[in-house]
């Protein structure tokens, strides 16, 4: 099974990157084919130009590659910190440029502007891992957990992905080495539970 792993954190040695690598390793051990993308290390350009708007535009090679991979993926794992109740700008730009019309969704014929889409992604399951420096109780009470709505309703439901799992690890800034290792174990276990189908060969590219 083709599965995309996308991580967005500016520090290469961050806990987010550790989670993404643990998830990728777990997927490889299950026999999946993994496309791994560290957006910061790749220098992914999050800015969408006016030339990219609409259907079938000419895309930069890097963006085209991401679009082709996500169109063929049967699963996706996304890892990022909670910044202002939303993903980092580089990941928001990835959504804009990659989960685009004609790749991730299409509007039904005769749509009069009501914006009811038809999801195009072949992805069966999506997993999002977040890190936070806000206690979970305060996040829900004060902010309402906006990341749940962004990923589940605004992104994956919109693109036709029915199975969605999200985990948040925190408070990271005050966590111990033992706590972080427990979270890494949980991330690996979550991936195994969601994508636990073993095949004969596996590669990470």
Tens digits of per-residue pLDDT, 94-117? Answer: 999 999 999 999 988 766 666 678
Q: Report if pTM > 0.85.
A: yes
Q: What is the residue extent of each domain of the chain?
A: 2-204
Residue 136 is predicted with a pLDDT of 84
What percent of the chain is predicted at pLDDT more than 90? Answer: 83
Parts of the chain with a pLDDT under 70: 110-115, 197-205
User: Rounded to an integer, what distance in angstroms lies between the CA atom of residue 26 and that of residue 157?
Assistant: 26
Distance CA 91, CA 1 (A): 24
Of the candidates 62, 58, 71, 80, the residue with the CA atom closest to the CA atom of residue 14: 80
pLDDT tens digits, 183-194: 999 999 999 999
Q: Which CATH class is domain 2-204?
A: alpha beta
């Amino acid at each position: 099974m083709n599965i995309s792993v996308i991580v967005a954190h500016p520090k290469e040695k961050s806990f987010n990157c550790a989670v993404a690598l643990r998830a990728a390793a777990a997927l490889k051990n299950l026999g999946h084919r993994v496309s791994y993308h560290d957006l910061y290390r790749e220098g992914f350009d999050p800015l969408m130009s006016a030339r990219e708007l609409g259907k079938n535009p000419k895309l930069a090679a890097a963006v085209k590659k991401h679009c082709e991979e996500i169109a063929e993926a049967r699963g996706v794992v996304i890892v990022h910190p909670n910044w202002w109740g939303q993903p980092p700008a580089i990941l928001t730009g990835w959504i804009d440029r990659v989960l685009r019309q004609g790749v991730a969704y299409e509007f039904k014929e005769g749509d009069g502007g009501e914006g009811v889409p038809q999801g195009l992604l072949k992805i069966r399951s999506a997993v999002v891992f977040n890190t936070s420096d806000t206690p979970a109780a305060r996040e829900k009470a004060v902010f309402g957990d906006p990341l749940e709505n962004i990923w589940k309703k605004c992104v994956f439901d919109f693109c036709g992905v029915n199975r969605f799992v999200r985990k948040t690890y925190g408070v990271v800034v005050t966590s111990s080495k033992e706590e972080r290792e427990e979270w890494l174990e949980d991330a690996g276990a979550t991936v195994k539970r969601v994508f636990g189908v073993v095949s004969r060969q596996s590669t990470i590219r």
